[in-house]
Amino acid sequence: MAIEVVTRDFEVALQIPETDPAGMSETQRRDALSSVRRAEARLAGWRVRLINAERDQLGKGAAEMAARDELQVSKREAKREVETAASLTGLAETWKALESGEIPQKHAWLIAKASWEGPIDEAVLAEAAKHEPYDQFARTVRKEQREHSEDDGQSILDKQCKNRTGRFFESREDGMFVLSGEFDPITGNRLALAISDKERELWREEDPKNRRTPQQRVADALAELILEPKSGQRPRTALLVIADYDMVHRELVNARLCDGTPIPMGELRRLACDADILPGVFRAKTQKLWLGRKRRIATEAQRAALALRDKGCIGCDANPAWCQAHHIQPWSWGGPTNLDNLVLVCARCHHNIHDDGWQVIKCPDSGRYELHQPPDPFPDAGVDAHRPPQRNPVLLN
Ligand SMILES: [Zn+2]
């Protein structure tokens, strides 16, 4: 069932099985999918070789032109192709793993990008790339970069600040206006807080019978924040910063955002001056983190404690700013608004819980909360798992 990559003279040809996937078993389809991944990686390895030879013999500009003409990519992508291909020559292990189909192309590109940004341990990353899905691997790369950075993360943050970019243009295809931007993690987290806060406000004002899609709501939140800023009222952008207290030197050390992104101490002092930090020190007695049945909606302090514990959506790792506090035992069935009955979930995973029966499980080993898909009621029958015909609106909290 595997895809064969066949070369005739200089031409690469693919032999794709003629079997109808509908008639294959689940195991066969999974094997076939994994063979697609290996074939794509091997093709990417061959492409790298071709582009590098073009660049070595005719120069960078000619290689970019060849990529643009023959691969039909944009100018920007052609430039990136040539740069990435060149950097792979210095990353022998990654290149070898790519050419043998062991690591996917996107993973190899990420290793190449990280190698421009600073020192990395290539062997560790190439090994992780063999089995980690892309989003998990991207986190591994970031962690690896932090471990090899020679200061407390200041140089990484400086580079990220320098690479910030914003674009606003009218799409030629459909006349829609597109707004996009890339930001350093500190600015990005503050933007996420401001936008998600506005989004929650819009959600509360909506007619529950006639809701916008989450995407429409985010678009409206952005437009309102830009076009109708409320006079004198700044949007909420208080960051949750976690730090350790060094008892000996009586100072804060090892400051980080709740996803683990380190904050250089210089940056922390600057943020502290703006009073934009929510202290990550919780005194259970004074902060009232155990509300029982007194209150249904989680408080700001509880949300901060949840962000600290869950780090983001327990189902998909989405940023805490986009998450809602979900009652594991529903409020309507007597569930209390206490930390051990609350988890952070994003809107999509919240839907999975309420509409599709996904379950919150506390992992006995790690103590972390996880989201589990309900078991398939018709295993091996070739029938898709049962889905209720209607989606019900999800309750916030
Ligand atoms: Zn999620």
pLDDT at 283: 44
Give 322 Cα–ligand 1 centroid separation in angstroms.
9
For residue 344, report the distance from its CA to the centre of ligand 1, in Å: 8
Q: Return the half-sphere exposure (C-beta side, CA atoms, 13 A cut-off) of residue 45.
A: 21
How far, in Å, is the centroid of ligand 1 from the Cα of 327?
15
CA of 352 to the centre of ligand 1 (A): 9
Gap from CA of 214 to ligand 1 centroid (Å): 13
226 Cα: distance to centroid of ligand 1 (angstroms)? 27
Residue corresponding to tokens 């200089």: 10
Q: How far apart are the CA of 353 and the centre of ligand 1, in A?
A: 10
Q: Report CA(303)–ligand 1 centroid distance (Å).
A: 16
Which is it for strands 342-346 and 323-327: parallel, antiparallel or unpaired? antiparallel
Of 323, 331, 185, nearest to 261 (Cα)? 185
Backbone phi and psi for residue 52, each to the nearest 5 degrees, phi listed first: -65, -40
Helix axes 154-162, 185-205, angle to 10 degrees: 60
List Cβ neighbours of 128 (8 Å cut-off, separation of 6 or more): 137, 140
Q: Give residue 351 CA to ligand 1 midpoint distance, Å.
A: 9
CA of 222 relative to ligand 1 center, distance in Å: 21
CA of 288 from ligand 1 middle (Å) equals 27
Per-residue confidence (pLDDT) for residue 267, from 0 to 100: 80
In terms of Cβ atoms closer than 10 Å to its own Cβ (0-12, 13-18, 19+), residue 245 is exposed
Using alpha carbons, list the distances in angstroms from residue 222 to 163, 177, 237, 348: 22, 13, 14, 20
What is the spatial distance between Cα 300 and Cα 225, in angstroms, rounded to a whole number?
21
Spell out the domain ranges in the chain: 4-148, 283-397
Instruction: State the residue for tokens 């994994």.
Output: 34
- For 53-56, which contacts have Cβ atoms below 8 Å and span 24 or more sequence positions? 55/82, 55/85, 55/86
**Among 53, 120, 116, 123, which residue's Cα sits nearest to residue 92?**
123
Distance 364 CA to ligand 1 centre (A): 21
Name the H helices within 247-299: 265-273, 284-287
Q: Taking the CA of residue 318 as centre, how many other CA atoms within 13 Å lie in the half-sphere pointing to its CB?
A: 18
Distance (angstroms) between ligand 1 centre and the Cα of 59 equals 46
Separation CA 231–CA 220 (nearest Å): 18
Distance, CA 66 to ligand 1 centroid (Å)? Answer: 41
**Cα-to-centroid distance, 245 and ligand 1 (Å):** 32
Q: Report the run of H or E that residue 369 belongs to, with start and end.
A: strand 369-372
With tokens 């007194």, the residue in question is 294
Q: Are 287 and 280 in contact (CB under 8 A)?
A: no
CA 83 – ligand 1 centroid, Å = 34
Instruction: Please give the distance, rounded to the nearest whole angstrom, from the Cα atom of residue 318 to the centre of ligand 1.
Output: 6
Half-sphere exposure of 213 toward its Cβ, with a 13 Å CA cutoff? Answer: 3
**257 C-alpha to center of ligand 1: Å?**
19
Each residue's pLDDT, cut to its tens digit, for the chain (397 residues) gives 677 777 777 788 888 888 899 999 999 999 999 999 999 999 999 999 999 999 999 999 999 999 999 999 999 899 999 999 999 999 999 999 999 999 999 999 999 999 988 888 999 999 999 999 998 999 899 888 888 877 777 888 888 889 899 998 888 888 899 999 999 988 898 888 888 888 888 988 999 899 898 899 999 999 988 887 665 566 666 677 777 777 777 777 777 787 777 888 778 777 766 655 555 444 444 455 665 666 777 877 788 788 888 888 998 888 888 888 899 998 888 888 888 899 999 888 888 888 888 999 988 888 889 998 887 665 554 444 444 433 333 333 3
DSSP string, 243-257: EEEETTTTEEEEEEE
Which bin fits 242, alpha (ψ -120 to 50), beta or left (φ > 0)? beta
Radius of gyration in angstroms for the set of CA atoms belonging to the chain, rounded to a whole number: 25
Following DSSP, what letter does each residue of 221-240 receive, concatenated?
HHHHHHH-PPTT-PPP-PEE
Partnered with residue 24 across adjacent β-strands are none
Rounded CA gap, 324 and 328, in Å?
Answer: 12
Distances (CA, A) of 300 to 122, 240, 289, 322, 389: 41, 11, 10, 14, 36
215 CA to centre of ligand 1 in angstroms:
15
Give distance in angstroms: CA of 370 to centre of ligand 1: 11
Q: For residue 284, what pLDDT is reported?
A: 41
Q: Residues 6 or more apart from 334 whose CB is under 8 A from it?
A: 293
How far is 79 from 63, CA to CA, in rounded Å? 9
